[in-house]
């Protein structure tokens, strides 16, 4: 396919990132915690992006977090007891519209970044212009899914790599055209990053080193490329 010498990838936890507060410089915090190299993919969890972008809201103890979930939703998909599965304005379908009550101060909730692809671009641009390193950036979050138990991390924003790798027209090892053609690269990278983060270990950033350079350099985002339009989604 290409001349990339596929020797494997390294998924590295970025340790030592301090608690993030509104207006903190995430790119600077990352760059001072690990030596980055060109071609790295930096996966940053939504929570610290939301904190840095001051997407924290107070929860009224009288009424709980449900009104916030409803306000952050454009469509409720399912309700069961306290759980609401809804679609956010970005088009993500997830529990509680992606608002997050863990790892934030009691009485607060962290909303999703308003424009997570732009959040990724800002970190990308700052790492390029202030720290001299050309990387790709993914903002990740933890979502459930139908039919399968357990949550996995997926991408909610990205910049600097192809969200989807389109293998249409390439041939399989026996020379036949591939049927399964579009791989959700950013979601697989987000899942790989989660393996070294761990929910309780407070490692909010991972670096994935050694990926195929052909995946890099794209300017497309998650919202335009990964979110399915209702017309093409078999499940609406």
Binders of a copy of itself in range 79-118 (CB under 8 A): 80, 83, 85, 91-93, 101-106
CA distance 93 to 95: 7
Nearest C-alpha neighbor of 83 from the set 116, 140, 91, 73: 73
Range 80-89 contact pairs with CB under 8 angstroms and sequence separation of 24 or more: 85/144, 88/112
CA distance 194 to 151: 11
Cβ 43 to a copy of itself, closest distance in Å?
Answer: 12
Number of other CB atoms surrounding residue 139 within 10 Å: 28
Cβ–Cβ < 8 Å for 226, 164:
yes
Cβ 222 to a copy of itself, closest distance in Å?
Answer: 9
Cβ 116 to a copy of itself, closest distance in Å?
Answer: 14
Name the residue nearer to a copy of itself (CB basis): 77 or 128: 77
Q: Contacts with a copy of itself in 162-201 (CB under 8 A)? A: 163-164, 167, 170-174, 176-180, 182-185, 187-189, 191-192, 194-196, 198-201
- CA 177 to chain centroid, in Å, comes to 31
Q: Contacts with a copy of itself in 6-65 (CB under 8 A)? A: 6-13
Name the residue nearer to a copy of itself (CB basis): 45 or 119: 45
Cβ 227 to a copy of itself, closest distance in Å?
Answer: 7
Interaction of residue 213 with a copy of itself, rule CB under 8 A: no
> Tokens standing for 135?
């990387």
State the pairing for strand pair 83-88/205-209: unpaired
Name the residue nearer to a copy of itself (CB basis): 130 or 236: 236
Residue of the chain from 154, 158, 161, 223 that contacts a copy of itself (CB under 8 A): 154
Cβ 48 to a copy of itself, closest distance in Å?
Answer: 11
CA distance 137 to 120: 5
Name the residue nearer to a copy of itself (CB basis): 111 or 196: 196
The residue count for binding a copy of itself (CB under 8 A) is 76
Number of other CB atoms surrounding residue 13 within 10 Å: 18
Residue range at the interface with a copy of itself (CB under 8 A); choices 20-28, 54-62, 122-130, 227-235: 227-235
Nearest C-alpha neighbor of 193 from the set 180, 181, 203: 203
Cβ 130 to a copy of itself, closest distance in Å?
Answer: 25
Name the residue nearer to a copy of itself (CB basis): 1 or 63: 1
Cβ–Cβ < 8 Å for 171, 178:
yes
State the pairing for strand pair 83-88/93-95: antiparallel
């Amino acid at each position: 396919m290409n001349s990339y010498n596929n020797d494997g990838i390294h998924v590295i936890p970025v340790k030592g990132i301090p608690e993030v507060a509104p207006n903190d410089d995430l790119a600077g915090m990352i760059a001072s915690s690990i030596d980055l190299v060109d071609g790295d993919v930096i996966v940053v969890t939504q929570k610290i992006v939301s904190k840095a972008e001051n997407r924290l809201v107070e929860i009224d103890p009288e009424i709980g977090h449900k009104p916030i979930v409803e306000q952050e939703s454009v469509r409720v998909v399912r309700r069961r007891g306290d759980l609401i599965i809804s679609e956010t304005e970005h088009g993500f379908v997830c529990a509680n519209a992606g608002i997050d009550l863990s790892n934030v101060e009691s009485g607060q909730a962290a909303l999703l970044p308003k424009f997570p692809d732009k959040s990724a671009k800002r970190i990308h641009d700052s790492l390029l212009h202030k720290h001299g390193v050309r990387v790709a950036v993914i903002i990740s979050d933890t979502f459930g899914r139908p039919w399968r138990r357990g949550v996995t991390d997926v991408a909610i924003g990205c910049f600097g790599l192809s969200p989807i790798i389109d293998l249409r027209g390439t041939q399989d090892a026996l020379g036949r055209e591939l049927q399964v053609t579009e791989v959700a690269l950013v979601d697989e990278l987000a899942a790989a990053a989660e393996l070294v983060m761990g929910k309780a270990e407070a490692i909010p950033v991972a670096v994935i080193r050694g990926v195929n350079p052909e995946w890099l350099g794209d300017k497309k985002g998650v919202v335009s490329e990964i979110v399915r339009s209702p017309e093409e989604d078999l499940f609406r």
